[in-house]
Chain A
Amino acid sequence: MKDQFIVNIIHRPEMVPEYAEKVTGHGKEEDLGRKALLKESLDIFKTQQALAHKYGLKTTIQMTYASLFNAEAVELAKQHHAEFGDEIGLSLLGLPCEQFRQKYKTKDFCIWMFSMEDKKAIVHDVFEKFHEAFGFYPESTGSYYMDADLINYIKAEYPAVKCAVATCWEEGPKAYHTCNNSWYTFMDGGPWAPWIPSKANTHAPAANENEDSGIVAIPHLSRDLLACYDGNGSNFGTHPQNVLRGMIYDTKTWEYPYLYNLIDQYRSLARYNDGCAYNMMFVGPGWMNKMGRWEQPYELLYKSYEDGCAYYGKLKKAGKLIDMTMSEFADWYRAKKSYTTPECALWRDILYGSDKQLFWYCDPYLRACVNMDQGGAIVDLRPYAAKLEWPVGIGTPHVQDASYPFLIQEKYRAGYFTHYAGEGTVRSAKICRNGEEVDLCLCRTKARFHREGTDRILTLDPVDVVFSDGVTVKLQTVFTFAEGSSSIRIDRRILSMSDPDAEVTVKEYMVACYGTTEYTEDMSSLTLHIEAGETDSVTIPYEYKCREAAVPGAEEVSCTIPPIKTRVSMLANGRNKIGFVREGYAFSPMFTLGYERNLKDKEVFTTWLNLERAD
């Protein structure tokens, strides 16, 4: 089958761009009806539309509430729909305008942060105003984030909606910090590529028809799966001005090969996803205002947008890209994917020259990141199997925090390296012999991907573990993600040993906790357990007492985490296995699950990490 690379180009006539009023209006009192601002905003929309059309690309016009009061914007949308086949959709971004302020008496503008009562009222106002302007209801909508209750309400009231921009990938505490702790978009932990959100939690894909929210979600921007995880997400996406924001361009030539590398790497993901790859470009008008944006003059902002459109246009001309509107894409996606089809990405560094490689996996049960630069350690893990209900907005326990909780997050919880005490979250293994321990986190390697039936398999290049007595062990790690299993299988195979009679101990471990931010949560409701039959089982209620337990032949080790309704467990093969659990302590508020086993040459140690909902 020929690979298909789909792009959605989305424009919104935002009459008061989020940034423009603040930046261009510096030194003036706030005035949302300022004529110059309204005119500039519409001019930017016209420019973006003209550039997309110049390169033969159709767009999705996401009307904002403010633009629905502007006859010229409405007329333009109708014209472009008729002439270019652009879809007329409806954004829940761009709410601020005089009419909105008068009615809702608030400066809030992020739909997911309103109370449920206000969300319903706003959705009603905006959708009905849209209908008044166009005579039909939209098929696509969106915001930076769309919480599950909001999506469910929209789908119930306006069933024509089939596609929505529903999250910004890894936009959370990192974006908050980058914005001098003033940008409250906390939505880490979601998919990076299109998915069908579950009714319970937008981030967690639906596993079946019962869980299906009824829409296809797309991420806001296609983001760099390595750079965004470590740095400011808003510098590294298929948003030309974000690339400029990151200063990732030559100041003399105004060239930015990184933007094209990013698009091309996304194209290359077709090889891991049954020939399907996706991109979206959604640049708000505030990024192209005439005053320039940070260090970049308007001419550079304009050039970068034109170059972005030109590149997509060139790919289209060459038969390497299909441009779709959002609703067209939703139909295409539903025809191509089943509920359990995972999204896979073996991602390489295209910016820092590090040669690092990450593997991202996402399905209705989990999202995981495997870091080859740390010997195949799992450095991020989200237990979607819990389908955690997580209401967001005023009047809920999470006014702003829409992130899906992690069990492992190496940036917020240290990962392998800690400052001389305690442990950080990571799933790795230690190879041990005569009192020496070598953690695979320190064995840098690379990986290859292949598929066998419904299994997605990541095979790491073998690494050498060298002990001081001269024994060298060549060890290979293989990850198997069995579709729909809610489980990760890890095989550690000893390919060779310098001394064929030598023996090593392999300690498989997972240090974890739970949270959505950089700061620790209360662990006192957790329970650790070793299942080993009636007489040998051990249970440790978490009390920060640094207790440990190990049981030979343990059938399972587990931890139940009530605050996120998750149970995580490990299983292992082999008769001489020992299962262990470790409680943390106040300075190291983590828990550890693991298995150890002695291995000889050519032997394999297999473990499974399982995730399930715990109520």
Chain B
Amino acid sequence: MAQSGKGRLNYRCPSCFMRDIDMDMFYDKDRDEYYCLRCQYRGNEADVLEKNELARFRYRAMYERFTFED
């Protein structure tokens, strides 16, 4: 099995992101999956993107535009 490298984009671990840790993942091309060196997360690109959407759950006002008048 060849060594892992960086993928097309430099994805972070979605599981670590949810606990406020920016952890770059490495890409295993034999398995077509990204994996985290710190925790047990692994998944393909589609799974990473899906989990990244989940990570946004806390930003409830992310799409709102506020005004700051008194």
Which of chain A's residues have a CB closer than 8 A to the CB of B24?
A: 294
Please indicate the chain B residues that have their CB under 8 angstroms from the CB of A264 in the complex.
66-68
Contacts of B46 in A (CB 8 A): none
Number of A-B contacts (CB under 8 A): 86
Is B10 located at the chain interface by the 8 A CB criterion?
Answer: yes
Contact of B22 among A245, A258, A351, A353 (CB under 8 A): A245
Residue on A with the closest CB to B55?
A247
Is there contact, CB below 8 Å, between B11 and A294?
A: yes
Q: Would A350 and B61 count as touching, CB distance under 8 A?
A: yes
With contact pairs A247-B56, A295-B11, A352-B60 given, residues A232 and B65 touching in the complex (Cβ less than 8 Å): no
A174 to B20, CA, bound (A): 9
Cβ–Cβ contact A180 & B68, under 8 A? no
A248 at the interface (CB under 8 A from B): yes
A474 within 8 A of B: no
On chain B, the residues within 8 Å of A245 by CB distance are 22
Stretch in contact with the other chain, from A69-77, A265-273, A328-336, A522-530? A265-273
- Chain B residue at smallest Cβ distance from A27: B5
Among the listed B6, B20, B58, B61, which residue makes an inter-chain contact with A232, where contact means beta carbons less than 8 Å apart?
Answer: B20
User: Complex Cα distance A393/B20, Å?
Assistant: 28
Asked if B30 is at the interface of the complex by the 8 Å CB criterion, the answer is no
8 Å CB contacts to B: which residues of A285-320? 291-297
Decide if B68 touches A268 in the complex (CB within 8 Å).
Answer: yes
* Cβ contacts under 8 Å, A178 to chain B: 20-22
Give A residues with C-beta under 8 Å from B.
23, 26-27, 174, 177-180, 231-232, 245, 247-251, 255, 257-258, 260-261, 264-265, 267-268, 271, 291-297, 349-354
- 24 A–B contacts from the bound complex (CB under 8 Å): A26-B5, A174-B20, A177-B20, A177-B21, A178-B21, A180-B21, A231-B20, A247-B52, A247-B56, A255-B63, A257-B65, A264-B66, A265-B68, A267-B68, A291-B10, A292-B9, A294-B22, A296-B9, A349-B61, A350-B64, A351-B61, A352-B58, A352-B60, A353-B60
Given contacts A174-B20, A264-B67, A294-B11, 20 further A-B contacts (CB under 8 A): A26-B5, A27-B6, A179-B22, A180-B22, A180-B23, A231-B20, A251-B53, A257-B64, A261-B64, A261-B65, A265-B66, A265-B68, A294-B12, A294-B22, A294-B24, A295-B12, A297-B9, A350-B64, A351-B59, A353-B60
| B interface residue numbers (CB < 8 A to A) | 5-6, 9-12, 17, 20-24, 38, 49, 52-53, 55-56, 58-68, 70
